Chains A and B, each alone.
Chain A
Amino acid sequence: MSVAEKIRTIRPDTLIGKRIPKMDAPEKASGKTRYIHDINLSGQLYGKILRSARIHALIKSIDTSAAKALAGVHAVITAADIPDQRPIGVARDHFPLKVGRVRSQRDEIAAVAAESEEIAEAALKLIKVEYQDLPVISDPEEAIKPDSPLIHPEPHGADGSHEHLKQGMSIAHKGKPDNIAMRFDYVHGDVVRGEAESDVVVEDTFKLHYVTHCCMGVSGMIAEFDSSGNLLMYSNTQVPFLHKREFAEYLDMDPARIRIIQPPIGGGFGSKLDIYPFEVICLFLARAAKRPVKLLFDREEEFLASPTRQPVLLTLRSGCRRDGTLTFRQVHTLHDNGAYTSWGATTPFVMMQTFSSLYRVPHCDYHTTAVYTNNPYAGSFRGYGNLQATFAIEQHMDQLAEAIGVDPLAFRLKNAQEAGEVTGQGMSFKSCGFKECLETAARRSDFSRKFRENAANRGKPGSVKHGIGIASMLHVGGGAKIYPSDGCGTILKMDDFANVTLITGASEIGQGSETVLSQLVCEELGLPISALTVVNNDTAITPWDVGVHASRTTFIAGNSAIGAAKKAKSKILAVAAKKFDCAEGDLDLRGGFVIRARDGEALVELSKLIRNLHFSAKADLVMTTFYYEPPSVHQDKGFKGDVSAAYAWATQVVEVEVDTDTGLVTMKRVTGAHDVGRVLNRLGIEGQIEGGMVMGQGYALTEDLMIEDGVMKNPNFRDYKLVTAPEIPEMDISFIESMDGEGPQGAKGVGEAPAICIAAATANAICNATGVRIYGLPFTPERVYRALHGKADKLYWKPWKPE
């Protein structure tokens, strides 16, 4: 008797919304997972980079002769050895090995490949560099002045040796006549009219600091050219397909001859979105030494040579009517771009969405100037500008509410977006659980009562004051159409035993995409998770994907995986319908069987049916492909357009204790309500949100990358303070399931959302506790103490407005 005959009917079941453990967790928990640090190739050399000893200087000479003579050294390279270097970065302003000039502490001058790390380090010490110091420009407000020295002047060595560079067209080749890296200008409505219609207007200037990703696994790369000149890279990139193309450009080779393998990575958070000099240098070394080269950072180098979140000076002017209707917002921001331009310089794309569209605001005017300085260059980091924008906007929401004497929750509810709205920026909110987020987070935290009571209790004796603050966010939740395609490809194959290999373009960076994608496929094919194998880390195998960014993987790769699974299902059911002489619609897949949809009766084991297909006269396999392109559009030149297929919403309420004697702020509780469309993997999504909340806590309270005159003062975990386990708040998380019509099983992206509101809500909570509003981060004891004890003015910084 077959299994099918024993089990007559199979009840409907679902994996959606369940707590599914991450598929790669058992290996990781056993220490068996091989990260890039754990991979070694035979014949491998070790690469090391010599970085600048100066912040801003001309390179007068480099002498590598002693390093080259050291036993065990296979290659020593400087810019002079790579005369055809091409500039990297979105603005093409950055040679991997610096030509004639260093512009920041991290700048790469030379590199060595040697038989051991020890020898490579010894060789670096033998390289002699002569510099001629230049004035250091570390203040963006100085850098933007017309008479400021230039960070990227027309290149000319003191000896005139860089004449050839002027032939190229990029900033790296021909220089830039001012220090302005990028400008963004966005307008909808007419802010002058908006201000005229306002009963209340507030204006403040906010200052956001440097923080960095602190991935637990340091950066690294292994590169090898085979004897035919094909390149194999082991890389931690989040965007393998775009980078394959870019690396080909930097090496002047055919992209088809580049293969990128992505070992599991020790954290991403946006840090692997750009190509960095060390990666290109590792390729140069491998090419020069004709041996595989492994280049790993140590922790100090990880701090020094990784990107940061954008430090921002932001002046916001907002208004509303007495009835609580928002009238306008005017925003001017100054971004410290650092010495070079990363993709992260485009964070204003996201910032302006928050200003224009989080709440209904009829008139909005937004301007960003990103300026070159000699500071570390900023990159993309979870939230992509949204933490900075939300910090300002959500404080103003409280200030406006207070000015007209309305409860901050009621004020937000009155202006909150709803499903069906199209904003001034052209974003169309097909699903929108914003009001439910506000109401749920407020109810579960008892916000309004505590807000009133805390304010009333401020004057009572005792140094410890209690505060509660609310903040909300809007973020893309259905991809972001920045590149020509925002798509993802899937190849799905089923073996003779009904196991599935899901080959997806989507990269796994620890977020759990492999598990969610498997769930979605299993849901279509009626299989257990154990039937799935995911291949997601090899450009020679996987189909194209634009990369892990913009919280897009579940939505885009999920829809792609579902598309491939539906095609497989349709093929299987067509065969089964013929066999059982019925319509395809009468059948379904469930529990590893083809069943009758009407009553769940098991008709045949799926594996048996697939074997029949394979080994019969039809001689066919179940293999499908699918490419999903979301129905979003590119923004026009005015930054208008429905850039994402769906939008995610969240409200977070933060409760703090403020010790007014010491300035110490303790985060006690965070209540979050997130419109995630639909919960797919409850375990995974809780983990994303808890991790994001604690990352937000670090941004608000403890993390501060201190840069003085271009020098990083605290490149280590001793002095750069990450949140540790005893400091985490109690976290209460609710999910608002708005069931997005385009989302995979209704889901929307969530990866960045949980980090975005915490700092803003904390600012509001501190104000609720003490009556003092603080406009700069982080809320360290010193800053808070100074603010509470009148050691600093309300405006710490003069408003930022360009001439």
Chain B
Amino acid sequence: MSPDISIEFTLNGIRKHVNVTARMNALDMLREVIGLTGTKYGCGEGECGACTIHVDGLSLNSCLMFAVDCDGREVVTIEGLANDPKADALRAAFVEHGAVQCGFCTPGMIMQADHLLHKHPHADAEAIKRGIEGNLCRCTGYKKIVDAIAACTTPSDTERNAEMRKSP
């Protein structure tokens, strides 16, 4: 199938024009067409979270999104967090807290954590666990990931955390 659909969107703050096929998902577009490989393929079915990106401020599995649906949107990948001070703090916390082992889930985990902290800056440990429920990690047992994210929160707000735990 030829890449005959032309789309335009903002990728990590820069306007981008790309030709894609109708069947292509956003993950393959990012990795194979554009060449940004920080977003990882883990399962292709939205079950592992390794391919998490932000689209118009929402955290999504890029493997489940058609590339054509990026048209006109604001897309941010792990590479797009390179100059974001909040994300710097998150990355540093992942490093210092030992939240990275093989590292394959890490970009997706950081994208999800970044989104969680924007939506819910006061998240406590239980709310963080719920927030990264859709991101699988086989190495760490999650504890150090939760510790790293918790180190980037502002002090907790009990009511909002209770609410957060209810709605995954």
A interface residues with partner B (beta carbon < 8 Å): 19, 21-22, 24-35, 37-38, 118, 213-218, 264-269, 298-299, 509-512, 683-684, 686-687, 690-695, 716-718, 722, 724-726, 728, 731
Let me know if A512 and B101 touch, CB within 8 A: yes
Distance of B100 from chain A, by nearest CB (Å): 4
Query: Which residue of B31, B78, B138, B141 contacts A267 across the interface (Cβ within 8 Å)?
Result: B138
Residues of B near A214 (CB, < 8 A) are 136, 138
Let me know if A216 and B144 touch, CB within 8 A: no
Q: B139 in the interface, Cβ–Cβ < 8 Å?
A: yes
Let me know if B96 and A266 touch, CB within 8 A: no
Let me know if B143 and A690 touch, CB within 8 A: yes
Let me know if B98 and A728 touch, CB within 8 A: no
For this complex, 7 residue pairs linking A to B, each with C-beta atoms less than 8 Å apart, are A29-B106, A30-B91, A216-B48, A299-B42, A687-B144, A694-B141, A695-B141
Distance of A783 from chain B, by nearest CB (Å): 24
A694 CA to B144 CA in the complex, in Å?
Answer: 12
Let me know if B141 and A28 touch, CB within 8 A: no
Q: A299-B43, A716-B43 are in contact. Are A29 and B145 (CB under 8 A)?
A: no
Main secondary structure of the interface of B (DSSP, over half): loop
Query: Which residue of A30, A34, A266 contacts B102 across the interface (Cβ within 8 Å)?
Result: A266
Let me know if B141 and A692 touch, CB within 8 A: yes
Residues of B near A692 (CB, < 8 A) are 141
Let me know if A298 and B44 touch, CB within 8 A: yes
Let me know if B95 and A684 touch, CB within 8 A: no
Task: Identify 8 new A-B residue pairs, CB closer than 8 A, beyond the known A512-B101, A724-B134.
Answer: A28-B100, A29-B106, A215-B102, A215-B104, A298-B44, A690-B140, A722-B136, A725-B133
Let me know if A728 and B143 touch, CB within 8 A: yes
* Inter-chain CB contacts under 8 Å: number: 167
Q: B121 in the interface, Cβ–Cβ < 8 Å?
A: no
Let me know if A218 and B41 touch, CB within 8 A: yes
Chain B, interface residues (CB within 8 Å), range: 35 or more
Let me know if B94 and A29 touch, CB within 8 A: yes
Residues of A near B50 (CB, < 8 A) are 216
Let me know if A731 and B48 touch, CB within 8 A: no
Residue of B nearest to A724 (CB): B133
B interface residues with partner A (beta carbon < 8 Å): 1, 31, 37-45, 47-48, 50, 77-79, 82, 91, 94-98, 100-107, 110, 126, 128-130, 132-146
Let me know if B139 and A29 touch, CB within 8 A: no
Query: Which residue of A19, A26, A731 contacts B141 across the interface (Cβ within 8 Å)?
Result: A731
Residues of B near A24 (CB, < 8 A) are 100, 103
Let me know if A511 and B101 touch, CB within 8 A: yes
A524 CA to B53 CA in the complex, in Å?
Answer: 44
Residues of B near A510 (CB, < 8 A) are 101-103, 139
Residues of B near A218 (CB, < 8 A) are 41-42
Residues of A near B1 (CB, < 8 A) are 118
Distance of A33 from chain B, by nearest CB (Å): 6
A693 CA to B144 CA in the complex, in Å?
Answer: 13
Let me know if A22 and B45 touch, CB within 8 A: no
Let me know if B139 and A267 touch, CB within 8 A: yes
Residues of B near A32 (CB, < 8 A) are 38
Let me know if B130 and A217 touch, CB within 8 A: no
Let me know if A29 and B43 touch, CB within 8 A: no
Residues of A near B132 (CB, < 8 A) are 725
Let me know if B142 and A29 touch, CB within 8 A: no
A214 CA to B47 CA in the complex, in Å?
Answer: 13
Residue of A nearest to B109 (CB): A29
Distance of A428 from chain B, by nearest CB (Å): 33
Query: Which residue of B94, B107, B138, B146 contacts A215 across the interface (Cβ within 8 Å)?
Result: B138
Residues of B near A299 (CB, < 8 A) are 42-45, 48
Let me know if A217 and B143 touch, CB within 8 A: no
A31 CA to B145 CA in the complex, in Å?
Answer: 16
Let me know if B104 and A267 touch, CB within 8 A: yes
Distance of A270 from chain B, by nearest CB (Å): 12
Distance of B87 from chain A, by nearest CB (Å): 9
Residue of B nearest to A683 (CB): B98
A31 CA to B50 CA in the complex, in Å?
Answer: 11
Let me know if B91 and A725 touch, CB within 8 A: no
A268 CA to B101 CA in the complex, in Å?
Answer: 11
Query: Which residue of B41, B77, B97, B102 contacts A264 across the interface (Cβ within 8 Å)?
Result: B102
